[in-house]
Amino acid sequence: MNHPIFLPGATLGVMGGGQLGRMFVQAAQAMGYVTVVLDPDDNSPAGLISHHHISTDYADAKGLSQLMQRCAAITTEFENVPAHALTTLSATLSIAPSAQCVAIAQDRITEKDHLKRSGVPTAPYAVIETVDHLSDVPDNLLPGILKTARLGYDGKGQVRVTTRVELASAWDALNRVPCVLEKMLPLAMECSVIVARAHNGECVHYWPQRNRHRDGILAITQAYYENVPAALAHQAIEATKRIAKELNYVGVLCVEYFVLQEGSPEYAALGALVVNEMAPRPHNSGHYTIDACDVSQFELQVRTLAGLPLVQPRQHSAAVMLNLLGDVWLNASSDAATSSTPPWAKVLALQGVHLHLYGKLQARKGRKMGHLTVTAPTASQAHATALEAARCLGIEAF
């Protein structure tokens, strides 16, 4: 059965009004689509620029009814949109990704079960849902990271533990909700792969990007071909495509990987790559594709949703992406309790710098306010310019 194609001029909807929704809206509008955002925040970044903004809760029946009446197809901005709301929408509309795929990504336990079926290794782990599960944890999982099964992101809902006493205390601190304890692994680096898969199974990808985190939040993405060894990159790409195929996934999917240190026991047991987690949407680590590739991850999101042909993206420039957190605004002020405008003129005087701000009205520590992408003909040039931009903005060097 052929999937319907929604050509420019049709109306596309997105559940969620944050920065990912905003960039989807920008890509859709550039291609000639009308957009609708459903988000409860009247000042949501995506809602402020969309043709239409339905300001209701994600599960509100009237809001969902309005969305269904206006749209030809609907996507999601983040994985914590209620899956049952997507199920309601899918009764009459094309939804990508599906409610089932989003539900799997919403729960770490379910996600790990899927990864097992896909034949892709994960860090050794144990599920903790009861007090008895605590005592059953194998000794070799410590030290580890205790993660809530649901609603964890950007380092939230995660606690590092080294002993059984710390594990029990951490589970109490997380209100004894279902959790996963993952063994801490010796890492050489972290990387991610973004793919886009169509209804007919066609799948395209970006080259793996190398990521660096601070306090659980992505800080820097380095995107150039020499950044990840070719054999490892192809292994990660094929694993990601296998995960998407097993899910019968439609849309943009990002899978984050740990690359293990060669020579470690874990490397011998698991191989070079293990999956950290997956995101059923465009990803922070793929923002560089707007400026460094001929087709961005957000255009691919539009294409998969609308049933348009997919083309293999080409990266035309080496790129480094810096996340701009609220700390940058706070660092720009002489008063630690207030924010000030960062020195954009200095930053934008650097060659190859592209500034993307998300329209958020208040800067807070750890809040994603925007990103900066540096493009250059070579990796060394992109790296040097990014270092200078980081220095101007008071961002810790890398």
pLDDT tens digits, 180-208: 999 999 999 999 999 999 999 999 999 99
- The mean pLDDT value of the chain amounts to 94
Same structural domain, 289 and 386: yes
Answer yes or no: are the C-beta atoms of 12 and 36 closer than 8 Å.
yes
For 238-389, strand residue ranges (E) read: 251-260, 273-279, 318-325, 353-357, 368-376
CA distance 187 to 212: 12
**E strand or H helix that includes residue 74:** strand 73-76
- In this predicted model, what pLDDT tens digit does every residue of 48-82 receive, in sequence order? 999 999 999 999 999 999 999 999 999 999 888 88
Please give the full DSSP string across 164-193, using - where no structure is assigned: HHHHHHHHHHTTT--EEEEE---EEEEEEE
Same structural domain, 201 and 307: yes
- In this predicted model, what pLDDT tens digit does every residue of 234-280 receive, in sequence order? 999 999 999 999 999 999 999 999 999 999 999 999 999 999 999 99
Average pLDDT rounded to a whole number, residues 308-336: 91
Residue 162 is assigned to a structural domain of this protein: yes
Q: Is the peptide bond before 97 cis (omega within 30 degrees of 0)?
A: yes
Tokens for 177?
Answer: 């909700």
Residue 67 belongs to a domain with what CATH number? 3.40.50.20
- What single-letter amino acid sits at 96? A
Residue 115 is assigned to a structural domain of this protein: no
Same structural domain, 179 and 191: no
- In this predicted model, what pLDDT tens digit does every residue of 105-131 receive, in sequence order? 999 999 999 998 888 999 999 999 999
Cα–Cα distances in angstroms (integers) from residue 6 to residues 28, 42, 47, 273, in the given order: 12, 28, 22, 38
Domain boundary (95, 114, 147) is at 95
- What single-letter amino acid sits at 332? A
Residue 368 belongs to a domain with what CATH number? 3.30.470.20
Answer yes or no: are the C-beta atoms of 369 and 305 closer than 8 Å.
no
* All residues at 6 or more sequence positions from 335 whose CB lies less than 8 Å from its CB, including other chains: none
Please report which confidence band the pLDDT of residue 152 belongs to, taking 50, 70 and 90 as the band edges.
low
DSSP letter, residue 312? -
Could you tell me which residue, 373 or 4, shows the higher pLDDT?
A: 373
Residue 32 is assigned to a structural domain of this protein: yes
When divided into structural domains, the chain yields a total of 3
> Quick one: pLDDT at residue 331?
86
- Across the strands, what pairs with 348? none
**Percent residues over pLDDT 90 in the chain:** 88
79-95 burial, b for 16+ CB within 10 Å, e for fewer? Answer: bbbbbebbebbeeeebb
> Quick one: pLDDT at residue 333?
73
Same structural domain, 228 and 373: yes
- What single-letter amino acid sits at 335? D
> Quick one: pLDDT at residue 334?
64
Residue 292 is assigned to a structural domain of this protein: yes
Same structural domain, 74 and 132: no
Same structural domain, 310 and 275: yes
DSSP letter, residue 14? E
Residue 6 is assigned to a structural domain of this protein: no
Same structural domain, 325 and 222: yes
- In sign, the C-alpha dihedral spanning 320, 295, 204, 100 is positive
Same structural domain, 174 and 239: no
- In this predicted model, what pLDDT tens digit does every residue of 214-234 receive, in sequence order? 988 999 999 999 889 999 999
> Quick one: pLDDT at residue 326?
95
Strand order, beta sheet including 179-183? 125-128, 179-183, 144-148, 158-161
Q: What is the CA radius of gyration of the chain?
A: 21
Please report which confidence band the pLDDT of residue 335 belongs to, taking 50, 70 and 90 as the band edges.
low
Tokens for 127?
Answer: 């599920």
Residue 137 has pLDDT above 80, yes or no: yes
Same structural domain, 163 and 199: no
Domain boundary (76, 95, 114) is at 95
Residue 111 is assigned to a structural domain of this protein: no
Domain boundary (79, 95, 111) is at 95
Any idea what the Cα angle at residue 225 is, between residues 27 and 242, rounded to 5°? 70
Answer yes or no: are the C-beta atoms of 149 and 179 closer than 8 Å.
yes
> Quick one: pLDDT at residue 151?
73
Residue 98 has pLDDT above 80, yes or no: yes
Residue count of the chain:
398
Collapsing DSSP to helix, strand or coil, 376 comes out as strand
* All residues at 6 or more sequence positions from 319 whose CB lies less than 8 Å from its CB, including other chains: 221, 222, 223, 224, 288, 291, 292, 373, 374, 375, 376, 382
Residue 201 is assigned to a structural domain of this protein: yes
Residue 349 has pLDDT above 60, yes or no: yes
Q: Is 381 exposed, middle or buried (0-12, 13-18, 19+ CB in 10 A)?
A: middle
> Quick one: pLDDT at residue 155?
58
Residue 1 has pLDDT above 60, yes or no: no
Instruction: Give the global pTM.
Output: 0.95
Same structural domain, 70 and 205: no
What's the domain range around 309? 187-393
Residue 265 is assigned to a structural domain of this protein: yes
Residue 144 belongs to a domain with what CATH number? 3.30.1490.20
**E strand or H helix that includes residue 67:** helix 61-70
Could you tell me which residue, 155 or 294, shows the higher pLDDT?
A: 294
Same structural domain, 228 and 131: no
Same structural domain, 131 and 258: no
